Structure 1
Amino acid sequence: MLYPELFKQLEAVRWDMDKDIPWDSFDASQLTDEQATTIKMNAITEWSALPATEMFLRDNRDDSDFCAFMSVWFFEEQKHSLVLMEYLRRFRPELVPTEEELHAVRFEFDPAPALETLMLHFCGEIRLNHWYRRAAQWHTEPVIKHIYETLARDEARHGGAYLRYMKKALARFGNEAKAAFTKVGVLMASARRTAQALHPTNLHVNANLFPRDTIQSRVPDPQWLEGWLDKQIQFDAVWENKVVERILHNMSLLLERSFVSVQELNRYRKEVTALVAARVAPPAAPDPQAA
């Protein structure tokens, strides 16, 4: 089991919201209304760890080790929402999300292949780490800069924990896991070719609720994410390349094969997908002409 070790590792570096956030350093002159509004949107987005955890527990009923780890991941992700709301409560109380706004992002996700979902959230942690690092640079108020830097480090650690479970899945499922991980890896490393930000909170997850079946479609301003990325924190091609490089680097370590481009990862995906298909393909029907 990985849970006991991961619990100890994350517990050892866990930050305290009262002691480790420099609330007394707040500088009101350095916080704009525009910046404060983005903090509200991120607080609501982080609240979506709740339905994500419900999804993980449902779709991984046969993996008690991973489900136990969810207790740590869920706690820390909800704490991210809480610290952002605490910041607003102290310094912009009129922007604290209402309970109704938070509850709006809690809805059921359609069942999905557990291995693909694991890889999706691994890539999501990498991406969010980079988004928050960039947000910390964009903000000018010292307390919120510190908060985003703190959250970024948490997301990096979560990505490392997911990677441990991916290694465990490889030992258990072999090529099936490789096919799932590379399929999602190619998708999540191809954001430059898509019109939308590739993060779990921005993907459609409930066909019956379409098109209002992404987390971002249910926040008070469904358009905020693209503006936050493009115009505010300016998550440009340089930063996107950092995300792609981290995904490819980790895939290289995980699969023990070097990938320097998405194209190389995609070629490998085709190889392992063919192996999986060949293993599960039914026998060919007999040729009636040969009888």
Structure 2
Amino acid sequence: MLYPDLFKQLESVRWDMATDIPWQDFDGARLSDEQAQTIKMNAITEWAALPATEMFLRDNRHDSDFSAFMSIWFFEEQKHSLVLMEYLRRFRPDCVPSEEELHQVRFDFDPAPPLETLMLHFCGEIRLNHWYRRAAEWHSEPVIKHIYTTLSQDEARHGGAYLRYMRRALEKCGDEARAAFAKVGVLMASARRTAQALHPTNLHVNKALFPRDTVQSRMPDPDWLEHWLDQQIRFDAVWEGKVGERILHNLGLLFNRSFKTVQDLNRYRKELTSRLGSPAGPAPQGT
């Protein structure tokens, strides 16, 4: 089992909201109304770990080890929402999300193949790590800079934990797992070719609720994410390239192959589908 070791590992570096956040360093002159609103939106987005955890537990009933790990992931992701809300409660109480605004992003996700979902969230952690690093650079107020840096480090550790479950899946499922990871990897490393931000909170997950079946579509301002990325934290092609490189690098280590480009990974995906005896079909959206 991976859960006991991951528990020890993540417990040893867990930060305390009361003592590890330098609340006393707050400088109100360095926080704009615009920035406060983005903190609110990120707090609500992080709250979506709740329906994501419900999805993981439902779709992984066969895997008690991974389901137990969800106790750590869920706790730390909800803590991200909480620390952002605590920042607003202390310094901008007018921007604290309401309970109804938080509840709006709790809805059922359609069942999906567990291996593909695992890879999707691994890529999501890589992307969020980079988003938060960029957010820490955009902000000038010292406390929120510290918070975003702290959250980015948590997201990197979560990605590492998901990667360990991916390695275990390769041992158990072989090419089936490789094909699932390559399929989602092609999509998630191709963000520069898509019109939308490729993150789990921005993907459609419930056909019956379409088009309000993404987390972002249920936000107080459904368009905030693109504006935050493009106009505020300036998550440009260079930063998107860093995300794609990390995805390709980690899949290369996982598969013992070298992927310089998304096209290299897509060719490998087609090799796998051919080996499995199923049609390769078109490349996933975004390639």
| TM-score bucket (shorter structure) | over 0.9
1:217 — aligned with what? 217
TM-score if structure 2 supplies the norm length? 0.97
Cα deviation for residue 278 of structure 1 reads 5.6
Amino acid at match of 2:70: M
Q: Which runs of 4+ in 1 moved over 6 A?
A: none
Q: 2:188 & 2:243 partners in 1: Cα distance?
A: 9
Quote the offset at 1:275 in angstroms: 1.2
What TM-score, normalized to structure 1? 0.95
Deviations 1:155-196 (A, max 9, x none): 000000000000000000000000000000000000111000
Partner of 2:121 in structure 1? 121
Structure number, greater radius of gyration: 1
Spell out, residue by residue over 1:98-127, the C-alpha distance to the aligned partner (whole angstroms, 9 max, x if none): 000000000000000000000000000000
Question: Which residue is equivalent to 1:206?
Answer: 206
The answer for unaligned runs of 5 or more in structure 2 is 280-287
Does 1:96 find its partner at 2:115? no
- 1:122-169 alpha-carbon deviations (Å, 9 max, x no partner): 000000000000000000100000000000000000000000000000
Kindly indicate whether residue 192 of structure 2 is the aligned counterpart of residue 192 of structure 1.
yes
Letter in 1 for 2:277: A
Aligned partner letter, 2:192: R
Separation (CA, whole Å) in 2 of partners of 1:61 and 1:156: 26
Name the CA distance, whole Å, in 1 between partners of 2:243 and 2:18.
32
Among the aligned pairs, what percent are the same residue?
79
Cα distance in 1 between the residues matched to 2:32 and 2:273? 50
Other-structure match for 2:22:
22
Distance 1:155 1:95 in 2: 24
Distance 1:40 1:145 in 2: 15
Q: Could you say what the CA RMSD is over the residues aligned between the two structures, in angstroms?
A: 0.8
Q: Structure 2 CA distance, aligned partners of 1:81 and 1:197?
A: 20
Q: Hey, what does 1:183 align to over in structure 2?
A: 183
- Please report how far the alpha carbon of residue 273 of structure 1 lies from its aligned counterpart in structure 2 after TM superposition: 1.1
Unaligned runs of 5+ in 1: 280-291
CA distance in 2, matches of 1:26, 1:3: 37
Distance in 2 (alpha carbons) for counterparts of 1:225 and 1:278: 37
Task: Report how many aligned residue pairs link the two structures.
Answer: 279
The alignment partner of 1:178 has SS state of helix
| Counterpart code for 2:273 | T
**AA paired with 1:185?**
G
Residue 230 of structure 1 is matched in structure 2 by 230
* CA-CA distance at 1:277 after TM superposition: 2.2
- Per the TM alignment, residue 276 of structure 1 is displaced from its structure 2 partner at its CA by 1.4
Q: Determine the C-alpha separation between the residues in 2 that align with 1:160 and 1:278.
A: 30
The match for 1:289 is: none
Q: In the aligned structure 2, how far is the partner of 1:156 from the partner of 1:138?
A: 19
Which deviations, in whole Å up to 9, do the C-alpha atoms of 1:224-260 show, x marking residues without a partner?
Answer: 0000000000000110010001000000010011111
Secondary structure of the corresponding residue to residue 277 of structure 1: coil
CA distance in 1, matches of 2:2, 2:277: 30
